[in-house]
Amino acid sequence: MPTTCPSPEFLSDLLEGRLPAEEGARLRTHLADCAACRAVLEQASDDPELREMAARDHRPSPYWREAALARLIEQSAGTSLGSEPMAPAGGLASLGLGPPRVEGDLGTLGGYRILREFGRGGLGVVFEGYDQALGRPVAIKVLRSDRLEGDHRRQLAREARHAARFRHDHVVVVHAVEETADGVPFIVMESIPGPSMADRLRELGRLAPAEAAELIAQAADGLAAAHDSGLIHRDIKPANLLFDPVHRRIRIVDFGLAHAADAPGSLPEGTLVGTPNYMSPEQARGQRQLDAQADQYALGATLYELLTGEPPFHGTPARVIHQVLEVEPRPPRQLNEAIPRDLETICLKAMAKDPRRRYPNVAAMGADLRRWLAGEPIVARPVGPMGRLARWSRRNRRVAALTASTFLLLAALAVGSLFAAARIDRERRSAIAERIRADANAEQAHAAARIAAERARVASEQRTLALETVSTLIKEVQDQLGRSAGTLTLRGRLADAAISRLEKIARDPADDSDVALARVMARERMGELSFLAGRTSTAREHFRAGSDQAAALAGSAGGEIAVEAGRLAAACDDRLGDLALYSADLNEAGSRYRHALERREALPEVWRESPEGRRGRAVSQNKLGDLALRLGRFEEARASYRRGLALTETDRDPDAQRHRFDLRFVHSRLGDLALAGCDFDEAEREYRQALGYAEAQLAAQPDDIRARREVPVCHSRLGALALRRADPKRALESYQKYLDGSEALAAANPSSAEARRDLLVAVSLVADSRLAARDYPAADRDYRRCLDIARALSRDDPGSLQKHMDIDEILTKLADLESRRERFDQAVSWLEQSRTNLRETADAGLIAPDRRASLDTAIGDRLFLCREARRALGDPAWIATQPPEAAKGLWAIRALSLARRGDLRAAAEAAETLRRLAPDDVESLIVAARAYALCLDASSRPASPASPASPAEAAAAPRPRPETYLAPALDALRAALRRRPGLFRGDVLDPDLNPLFAYPEFRRLLTAPAPTPPG
Amino acid sequence: MDHPRDEGATRPSLLLQLRDHSDVEAWTTFTLLYAPLVYGYCRKRGLQDADAADITQEVLRQVSRSIRSFDYDPRKGRFRDWLRMVTRRKVSRFLAGQAGAELSIEWVSPDEIAEGPADAEWADDFNARVLQVALEQIRPRFEGITWRAFERTWVAGADARQVALEVGMPIDHVYTARSRVLKHLRAQILLLAGNLPHLM
């Protein structure tokens, strides 16, 4: 039973999203019963003007479709030979045509109806035909018998058959090669109604540069594939490139025909096949053995003509041939300044007189065109940074330029008629609607409608401006950021440009929930852009503001706006959590992640249980799992991951790729978890499962960059597992697979910063496993390579803190490596570089002053230790005179170095002193344990005569038994563990500790459950 | 802050964007929007496909020039009417020329085209085209579920209660969805055409 009806104002508030969600929910029951209120809402949520626009029949004009199709058929007249000079031809009879079977036809040929003539050229006549057996239109090329004699005709047919076996998206399909009863060969091809490029040139004069580049790039794809299967075209020219309007792509026609026709003896000596305008110099010289480079020249000449509207050379055939051989073509930009310089470069490179100076193959030419189209630097010639930026910003225009008239016509056709179908339905229902309206209080309804309409009008303009900017701009920017190519500096600039426009929206003061939503969206996008560009503090500000505003909006608005606001708030909180996690603020991270999850759980069920909603909750669970893992709370982490996995597994995400990715992710994480809990077998199982998903993904999408990255990443986890199991050999194997994958990706995407960073990580992990295997020279070589990569990355993106920290990490590793080899001078030089790097980073404003000071001190301490290491090794008494902090470090160096040298007694003494001196310092305790472990290792192998340890001592006293060192090592580790529970979980241990893995006591120590910390 | 509102001047409509020569995107949208309209008009006037296509090209070129040189002034009238006038003139001129060459003058008179019932038809076609394109353009801004709710209630005229059941969303959300999409649609139409049927 209807309760009291709400006021019209209340209802219009509902529509404007100004009501809290509970109000909407309360109203729901009322609305279900009250036809009057529904009628009010129906009218208030309507727009009479739009209704009027929609009220008419909106089927596209009947002329339109017919006309567009008719034009396409007409354009088909240009197939292949249309632009050839008309050769004096014999009558149709000379072609062996049979009498027509259908009135209006020209005749028949085998099982084909010949409908009309398309055109004729040097080799034959092309007809529009119809395959009666298969009921499809075809193009039929009849080779003119008067121009070809017996053997050559057969050779030509052979060649055409060869071409017929080749299939490619950008090549016109040859259906069959047949002969008439009189032995006249004819070729049956796919009928491509589209205009040839020669037709387009006639129609437009010349093409827009981007369109020309796109079309030639497509042709290059087709040619490259043909070249790979040994086919050479030999007669590439605008007339042989057809635009296929159905698939909207370029199709090359007449493959191999010129080749066969030009075979020795097939035509009188000296007869040139092919239009001289597109003929390569080698072809013009009469060279018979042409290779693919001749096609590249012809494609370059075609590009030249598409760009400039003129062939590269003019005049009589003889004159053209002379010029082809002797004269450089006029640079296209002299003919048309609007042609971009790089496109000119590409065109002229392909047309180089010396085939060796062209691109190595047509595929390379195509790739360079695509680079240009993507706004990336081309390889044909280096370009300056300004040029690069200009091209980058031109990117999004490319699509627009491509939609030149032909494309446009079809695009217009494709815009469907939503209304035509709905109209009948609407008419059927209007009777019902009328009845409901009659029930309603008419006056009330009108009042509400007026209020709503008025409010809508006032706000609409500003809102449109805002939302329009947000939706188009964000899409643009994301598209561009999403592509892997391009340097990070450019990304940064792009992000800045986008942010400055988004700022305007974020500051829009309008008091309207839709605008408020746009504001929040803008904040979230700005945060994301800053985050992606590596600007963490700016990102944090944006996300904070976004989260607060979104939360407020979710509380005050109703309906859908509240839902979107809730989702945005969760997205902001996720990122705030990530940022907190990066800066090791684990409490903040936890609270943000939990917030995000709560917000997602609180969404109405429709959204919560939708694939998107479930995925969002899975993301939340996984992030909470990550955090718990980081905190050493393994059970909690496992529970979160399992919940995430359950959401992911049962979710039928329509995006299969993303679904596999999510599954891969969770299994990887469960593997990490098992690894941290030292359940190595379980870890192996999870990692293998993850690898399975990654491999399935790769099989499904072998060319997808992300898919190609996943498999190596899984190998890297298996490498980590092996390293943790103290099995450097297997670690190296797995990491090597990771490295191979990363190398391949980086080579395929030389301009991708992500790919290069991935490579950096891979090389450094390989180096780590070499270090663990004590292959120091190899580790040294790999770390130096890392340093080169890291420096190059930082040069490309000087504003990124992460890149600077990468350099620092590698420098630290190098210093550590050199310390292990007792090459302390070298270590000092690495540390000095590290300090310089730190100062530069701080000067660039990337490190806060207080943090700078503490980092600087830390490096200073390490420098001191390396400088004084020799003295510490020679003079233990001197160490005693040093202040306690310095003494600790010096004893540590002494303990480790002497243990490595095999001077076990002195090493053990130093370790003992260290433990005594710093009984509460976790780092020192671990160093002591490492020293004991090294001693244990040394004492368990036969003494080597080449050992640099003091041979006198080795001879004088029998070496202690290995177990002598086990107890103190375990003691030191236990002490460290008491002070920092969970210390050994998760992290890879220093390889010095590897010898301890042979002892079950040690393994038990690692897996001991983390006791709750005191207090 | 409180300037009197000047509708035509402040709106960043497609037409104003076109004045910027380099705005390729605006021009593409413009062509996509109006080429079929002009073409259809020509065909209805009995022009052959090729001629209709030529005239369409010419009209669009003329519009481009006029907008850039401020020949078209939004304050003087609706763009819709102005576009029709440009098209009509081109068609008349073409038919007159053709008539002189090949046909008897009685075949069609330019005056006949100028006035009459064609105007209502033009307006309908114009509106239909703008609405179609606007719908396509705003669609990606919405969740699938929101769009379905809108389509079912507003386009198909289905009962909100039933739509709520169909798409699985509370009934109040169906109304807010419908209201939101319409606001975007309205704004988009203003952006595209610079006017609504009764606005100016």
Instruction: Give the residue with greater pLDDT, B136 vs A888.
Output: A888
Residue from the list B12, B36, B156 with its beta carbon closest to the beta carbon of A426: B156
Across the interface, whether the CB atoms of A47 and B36 are under 8 A apart is answered: no
Q: In 3-state terms, what secondary structure has residue A561?
A: helix
B198 vs A240, higher pLDDT: A240
pLDDT on residue A899:
92
Across the interface, of B39, B168, B197, the residue whose CB is closest to A67 is B39
pLDDT at A510: 55
* Residue pairs spanning A and B at CB distance below 8 A: 212
Give the closest residue to B130 by CA, choosing from A205, A270, A52. A52
**Would residue B200 count as lying in a domain?**
no
> Would you list the DSSP string of A978-989?
HHSTTTTSSSPP
- Partner-chain contact B183 A514, CB within 8 Å: yes
Torsional sign, CA A906, A910, A915, A917: positive
Q: So what's the pLDDT on residue A370? A: 87
pLDDT at position A317 is: 65
Q: Which amino acid is at A257?
A: L
A824 Cβ contact partners less than 8 Å away, ≥ 6 residues apart:
A818, A866, A867, A869, A870
Residue type, A708: R
Q: Which of A600, A601, A569, A575 is nearest to A588 (CA)?
A: A575
Pair of tokens at residue A384 = 């300056």
Q: Is B166 within the bounds of a domain?
A: yes
Q: Mean pLDDT, 10 residues at a time, over chain A (1015 residues)? A: 70 76 76 83 81 60 38 31 30 54 70 76 73 82 62 68 80 81 77 82 85 92 88 86 83 71 41 64 73 91 92 75 78 83 88 85 90 74 33 30 24 25 31 34 39 40 41 43 40 52 56 70 75 76 90 80 85 91 84 93 81 86 88 86 87 69 88 82 93 88 74 90 86 92 81 80 92 92 94 84 87 93 93 91 80 84 91 89 88 93 91 90 91 90 54 55 86 88 69 86 74 42
Residues 592-651 of A with CB under 8 A from B: 604, 606, 610
Which sequence positions of A are flagged as catalytic?
235
Q: What is the distance in angstroms between the CA of the first residue and the CA of the last residue of chain B? A: 25
Q: What are phi and psi of A701, to 5 degrees?
A: -135, 75
DSSP-derived 3-state class of residue A115: strand
Rounded alpha-carbon distances, angstroms, from residue A635 to A596, A640, A670: 21, 9, 11
| Residue A436: per-residue pLDDT | 34
ipTM of the complex: 0.74
Q: What's the confidence (pLDDT) of residue A149?
A: 58
Q: Flag whether B198 is in a domain.
A: no
Residue A902 zone, left/alpha/beta (φ > 0; ψ -120 to 50; rest): left
DSSP A895-938: HHHHHHHT-HHHHHHHHHHHHHH-TT-HHHHHHHHHHHHHHHHH
CA pair distance A893, A876, nearest whole angstrom: 11
Q: Which of A197, A202, A204, A293 is nearest to A237 (CA)?
A: A197
Instruction: Provide the 3-class DSSP secondary structure of residue B104.
Output: coil
Give the whole-angstrom CA distance, residue A657 versus residue A706.
10
Do B164 and B94 meet the contact criterion of CB atoms below 8 Å apart?
A: no
- Say how far apart CA A109 and CA A858 lie, in whole Å: 89
Residue B173 contacts A where some CB pair is shorter than 8 Å: yes
The residue type at A399: V
Domain, as residue range, for B81: 7-193
Q: Does B38 touch chain A (CB under 8 A)?
A: no
Note whether B160 contacts A38, CB cutoff 8 Å.
yes
The long-range contacts involving B58-63, CB below 8 angstroms and separated by at least 24 positions, are B58/B90, B59/B83, B59/B86, B59/B87, B59/B90, B60/B30, B60/B31, B60/B34, B60/B35, B62/B86, B62/B90, B63/B30, B63/B34
Whole-number Å distance between alpha carbons of A536 and A302: 49
Flag if B185 and A419 touch (Cβ within 8 Å): no
A756 contacts A800 by C-beta, under 8 angstroms? no
Which residues are bridge partners to A139 per DSSP? A128, A189
Are B156 and A411 inside 8 Å of each other by CB? no
The answer to whether position B50 is within a domain reads: yes
Query: Which pLDDT belongs to residue A482?
Result: 43
* Chain B environment of A396 (Cβ under 8 Å): 25
Give the whole-angstrom CA distance, residue B73 versus residue A178.
Answer: 64
- The residue type found at A964 is T
Q: Taking the CB of residue A33, how many other CB atoms lie within 10 A of it?
A: 12
Q: Are A542 and A524 in contact (CB under 8 A)?
A: yes
- pLDDT of amino acid B164: 87
The closest alpha carbon to A549, from A597, A513, A593, A584, belongs to A513
Which residue, chain included where needed, has tokens 């481009």?
A: B64
3-state secondary structure A828-893: HHHHHHHHHHHHHHHHCCCCCHHHHHHHHHHHHHHHHHHHHHHHHHHCHHHHHCCCHHHHHHHHHH
Who among B11, B125, B189 is closest to A461 (CB)? Answer: B11
- The reported pLDDT for the residue numbered A362 is 93
As a whole number of angstroms, the distance between CA A906 and CA A918 comes to: 18
Closest CA to A620 of A602, A639, A593: A593
Complete DSSP assignment for A346-374? HHHHHT-SSGGGS-SSHHHHHHHHHHHHT
Write down the pLDDT at residue A222: 92
Write out A261-313 in H/E/C secondary structure: HCCCCCCCCCCCCCCHHHCCHHHHCCCCCCCHHHHHHHHHHHHHHHHHCCCCC
User: Cβ(A822)–Cβ(A828) under 8 Å?
Assistant: no
Stated pTM of the model: 0.44
Q: CA geometry: angle at A788 spanning A785 and A792, to 5°? A: 145
B144 Cβ under 8 Å from any chain A Cβ: no
**Residue B112 domain-assigned (yes or no):** yes
Number of folded domains that form chain B: 1
For residue A122, the SS3 value is coil
Residue B2 belongs to a domain: no
Helix (H) or strand (E) holding A178: strand A174-179
Query: Could you tell me if B197 lies within 8 Å of chain A, comparing CB atoms?
Result: yes
Residue B112 has pLDDT above 80, yes or no: no
Q: How confident is the model at residue B102 (pLDDT cuts 50, 70, 90)?
A: very low
Q: Is residue B199 part of a domain?
A: no
Asked if residue B1 is part of any domain, the answer here is no
| Alpha helices, DSSP H, located in A507-601 | 513-532, 536-556, 559-582, 586-601
Are A400 and B25 inside 8 Å of each other by CB? Answer: yes
| Separation in Å, CA A931 to CA A381, A816, A923 | 57, 15, 12
Q: Does residue A55 belong to the interface with chain B, where contact is any CB pair within 8 Å? A: no
